[in-house]
Structures are given as structure tokens and as C-alpha cells.
Amino acid sequence: MANSPQARKRARQADKSRAHNAAQRSNMRTAIKNVVYAIEKGDKEAAQAAYKICAPTVDKMSNKGIIHVNKAARHKSRLNAQIKSM
């Protein structure tokens, strides 16, 4: 456990940011899953609409440093390719 006041504050800040980042990651994963479910149903219009919501969400997570830029690009590329192949 942190002993100095400075270390205690950093521990509090780390807990707060960890919880915030986890919520943001969960939101991103939900957006991705919505696209995947629409693709599995075979509904191209719904998949495109879900992708339009998903892409900016994934970009925001990469810009904030929650996920790597290449991971964001990989998710977007694969989802878009699956939608186009429908």
C-alpha cells in the first residue's frame, strides 16, 4: 500500500482512471458486437448503420490511448470487409 500522501493520491487517480478506461473499452466492445450481430443476421443495412456508430467510437478509443492505433484500424478494416462481402 502507498505510504506517502503523493503515492496515495496517485493510487486513487489510478483506480479512477482504470474504472473510466474499463467503461470506455466496454462501450467500444458493445459497438463492435452490434456490428457483428447485424452481420450474422445478414442485415446489411443494419450492419452499415451499426458500423457508422462503431467506427468513430473505435477511433476515439485509439486517440485517447485506450487501445493501440493499429488495433483500431484492424477492427475497422475487418468489420468493413465483412459488411462489403455480404
Q: Which CATH number fits domain 5-84: 1.20.120.450, 1.20.58.110, 3.90.1150.10, 1.10.287.130?
A: 1.20.58.110
Residue 71 and residue 62 in contact, taking contact as beta carbons nearer than 8 Å: yes
Q: What tens digit of pLDDT does each residue of 55-79 get? A: 999 999 999 999 999 999 999 999 9
Residue-range domain boundaries for the chain: 5-84
Q: What tens digit of pLDDT does each residue of 17-32 get? A: 999 999 999 999 999 9
| CA-based nearest residue to 22, from 55, 59, 61 | 61
Residue 63 and residue 80 in contact, taking contact as beta carbons nearer than 8 Å: no
pLDDT for the residue 70:
98
